[in-house]
Amino acid sequence: MTAATHSPLFPQAPDSADAVLEGLDPEQREVATALRGPVCVLAGAGTGKTRAITHRIAYGVRAGILQPSSVLAVTFTNRAAGEMRGRLRQLGAHGVQARTFHSAALRQLQYFWPKAIGGSLPRLVDRKIQLVADAAVACRVRLDRGELRDVTAEIEWSKVTQTVPADYALAVGKAGREIPRDPAEIAQLYAAYEDLKRARAVIDFEDVLLLTVAVLQDRHDIAEQVRAQYQHFVVDEYQDVSPLQQRLLELWLGEREDLCVVGDASQTIYSFTGATPDHLLDFRTRHPGATVVKLVRDYRSTPQVVHLANGLLAQARGRAADHRLELVSQRAPGPEPAYAEYPDEPAEAEGAARRIRELLDAGVPAAEIAVLFRTNAQSETYEQALADLGVPYQLRGAERFFDRPEVRKARVALRGAARFGGNDTLLEDAVDLPSQVRAVLSGEGWTSQPPAGSGAVRERWESLAALVNLAQDFAGAQRGATLADLVAELDERASAQHAPTVQGVTLASLHSAKGLEWDVVFLVGVAEGMMPIAYARTDEQIEEERRLLYVGVTRARERLQVSWALARSPGGRPNRRPSRFLDGLRPGSGAATGRAGVGGAGGIERGFAGTTAHTPVVPRRTQRSPARCRVCGRTLTDAGEMKLMRCEDCPSDMDEGLYERLRDWRAVQARRSGQPAYCVFTDKTLMAIAEGVPEEEGELARIPGVGVRKLNRYGADVLAICAGQEATEGDAQG
């Protein structure tokens, strides 16, 4: 299990700002060098969005354009924020703040509370569910454990959508939410919950954002102080922002526009928490001068996996689907996705476990395999099936690695050995760093062989084994490293929540798998009633379930197995059918009925300087069928070949003289605009123009790589050159 892109474990920081840009593709480089004004990055799964935005920050810092202390990068999970901090550290961009919305807001609230309110900040409650239970008692309402969780979720949704108790019933009706109790009753519980918090002088997680917003709205002097501190903002996973988080971001920004947002509407899977892709999709309306960069080069998955992912979205409906990105794999071909049908759920789990055992025996690391399911309740069957075959596993979504008791104790033991190791008989025979770590951790329960079976003992061993493996990697990367050096590395990783890899098959829900990837992924339980889930009834809910399956598919790098069971229990009635989302995609299910023309290609769009907030830019919708070579008829998947509309090695009828004239003209335009030549038109687009020799705007617009903005800006010049005339003098109009 790794984060979204591969990188060496302990790389050396680039030696210059320009070196930061090495290895980026043209679109990623555009993100990294677009340091001023509003920037919107539409990044498909596996396209290196984290790489692009961390290199953007690092390039700005290393080039002296951005002050590290003036940059605030925000995301939604501690893991993602920790990964971002780790990458920035590797790139030599020290001092940049990378935090979750809540963490950044809490720091500000703690600092400004005495000045804005007086006294100390109220205590933050760890678990609000007990307060909800107390509120239910006060209202004389009986709630079982499941209803307690559901009501708590409704209170959280209300707060992030800035809905007060009196407006709850109206708000849920408007949102079309499925709710666990009568809306008036939930509103009563919500009001009682808020009263209890005030009486006990405590605040909850959502209050951190609400109170920060209130302070910044009411105290302009404090708002200006925050804006003086942070002048450049980067927001990751922007499709997941809630109305409350968006309001906080607007208050941080003030009237400025030094904002870069990154997201993918097709990965919006948290609407039940109040997240909405509308802020991402409306970004150009709110910031008409924004630069929009689309990342569609998929470096994660094979063409076979990408084809299935694109096929899923091709059948989608709704606003997010209208803005979908069609991925183009950059990897070598791999095996086709496999599909398996089982008589019941235990048989499905046993089948997956047997296949995983075969992969492990063939040399596939356990950490590179995942089993993904729709609900956490499905995990128990797979835990048992894997344990029966002696397959190590870990549950995703459990306690954070560095917060585990055995890891905390191990770090204390390693720190003690680093200080006083010369007097420790355990270390007498240890000749290098890895053997020292093994010797120390053997006193904490680590053994060279894993314990039999599963459960808590096995989980503790897996944690210690991860530290042993990390020590081996660290010693290999840092020659002469000492135990003290390793302790310092662990301290930095703990601060960044940059956990080492645990050697076990990952079991995870589809929601908790977001942002992760594995070589091999088993998507299980892909049947009607589970995918989409039975309670998804509206069109919007069904489409979110489709996006959830899309997220699952795009977690796989090389191999993907999709399975379903016809019955829940052995001997049960086999009345289930495969998910409707697989219709037209799995073998034997008929032809796909997608909207191939809706997908968005990659590239860069720049805002018009004269555009106002009242004249939003509407992206062009390109009607496309699968691209085929115009010479031999083969289906094209390579981005460059798709621009030429022919295979690279098929005969070309290009006008060489026209191509050279276009290149000379492009060089002049690039100098005038102060940008790389490929930002005007790529070589492949110029070749396509020189092969097609368009005579009018419609013909030019149909050439891949000529978007509506480039057509408006450069179309007259290009058509003039194609007609054998001179291009118009002066700057191109933009």
Tell me the binding residues for ATP: 43-50
Of 524, 494, 489, the closest CA to residue 510 belongs to 524
Rounded to a whole number of angstroms, the CA Rg of the chain reads: 28
Can you tell me the distance from the alpha carbon of 648 to that of 654, in angstroms, rounded to the nearest whole number?
13
Residue 210 and residue 160: Cα distance in Å, rounded?
Answer: 8
Which helix (H) or strand (E) segment is 372 a member of?
Answer: strand 369-373
Residue showing tokens 């149909």:
702
Instruction: Give the C-alpha separation, 206 to 245, whole Å.
Output: 10
Give 177's contacts (C-beta < 8 A, 6+ positions apart).
Answer: 154, 157
- Angle, CA 127 vertex, CA 125 and CA 132 arms, to 5°: 100
373 phi and psi angles, rounded to 5 deg: -135, 165
Render the burial of 244-263: b for 16+ CB within 10 Å, e for the rest: bbbbbbebbbeeeebbbbbb
Q: Distance (Å, rounded) from C-alpha 109 to C-alpha 336?
A: 52
Q: At 14, is the secondary structure helix, strand, or coil?
A: coil
Q: How far apart are CA 429 and CA 442, in angstroms?
A: 14
Residue 90 contacts residue 7 (beta carbons within 8 Å)? yes
Residue whose pair of structure tokens reads 């029966």 in the numeric block: 388
DSSP-assigned letter for residue 632: T
The torsion angles phi and psi of 370, rounded to 5 degrees, stand at -135, 145
Task: Identify the bridge partners of residue 124 per DSSP, sorted by sequence position.
Answer: 203
Residues whose CB falls within 8 Å of the CB of residue 410, separated by 6 or more in sequence, listed in order? 440, 441, 444, 463, 464, 467
The tokens of 468 are what?
């042993």
* CA neighbor of 522 nearest in space, from 556, 549, 551: 556
Both ends of the chain: CA-CA distance in Å?
45
Q: Enter the DSSP assignment of 107.
A: H
Closest by Cα among 101, 87, 98 to 58: 87
CA distance 231 to 221: 16
Binding residues: 43-50
